Amino acid sequence: MSDDMEPLPDGSGAVARPSSNSMRPAELPHRRDQPTTGRRDDGAILGQRYVVEEPIGHGGMSVVYRAHDLVLDRPVAVKMLALTDDPRLRSELRVEARASGKLNDPRIAQVFDYGETVNSEGTAAPYIVMELVAGEPLSRRLSGGAAMPWRTACAICGEIAQALTAAHRQGLVHRDIKPDNVLITDAGVKLIDFGISASIGSADSTRTASSSAPRPT
């Protein structure tokens, strides 16, 4: 089963939708008015570092928020995944997020951090902190009906291939390559949705990737 979602021009990558029956919709921790840094914000604080500002997209089992990194003073995207009481699933998500975070290619949206927040019932909700990318989804550019110039199409495909090559060299596969997950930025192509990828040769029985990036809220 997949979500019908549309990427945002200023958003981040797609959401991986876990298939476990133990999953519940993601939620934010209670708001705090004053982070430990002394800066005052109305948003929730994740990991005493990320100030959640506003939702920029959502899927069936996750929500993506625009946030601010208090330590490095920069905007980021935070993907809140579903609540889960399955420690094995959380461990796999953490391992894959760590592997994705090692990808260093200008054509791939970076994964900065992984964490977990706990609700009042003691159930954990994993979250992934990612690069906030400004760009136009390739799917939107193709939706106008006019044919794309072949030189442009070849250049885009070439950059996508280079991004995938860089990931494959690190032993990661994307699992969901399509126009929704390709952003056209001022600097070129940016491949998104590497927040939850899969290691080459690894079992993938506990999760299925969703079909696209977050849709607007």
Q: How does pLDDT run across 58-113, given as a tens digit for each residue? A: 666 778 899 999 999 999 999 888 777 778 878 877 877 887 888 889 999 888 99
Distance (Å, whole) CA 139 – CA 137: 5
pLDDT greater than 70 at residue 202: no
Between 35 and 202, the higher pLDDT residue: 202
pLDDT of 206 reads 41
Q: What is the dihedral of CA 184, 139, 180, 216, to 10 degrees?
A: 100
Q: Is 176 an active-site residue? A: yes
Domain edges within the chain: 16-209
What is the arithmetic mean of pLDDT over 173-194? 86
Contact criterion met (CB below 8 Å) for 210 and 15: yes
Q: Residue 17 CB: number of other CB atoms within 10 A?
A: 21
Q: What is the dihedral of CA 18, 43, 181, 23, to 10 degrees?
A: 10
CATH 1.10.510.10 fits 16-209, yes or no: yes
Task: Give the three-state DSSP class for 206.
Answer: coil
* pLDDT averaged over every residue in the chain: 74
Q: What is the model's pTM?
A: 0.68
5-19, 55-69, 152-166: which range is least confident on average? 5-19
Of the residues 105, 113, 176, 180, which is catalytic?
176
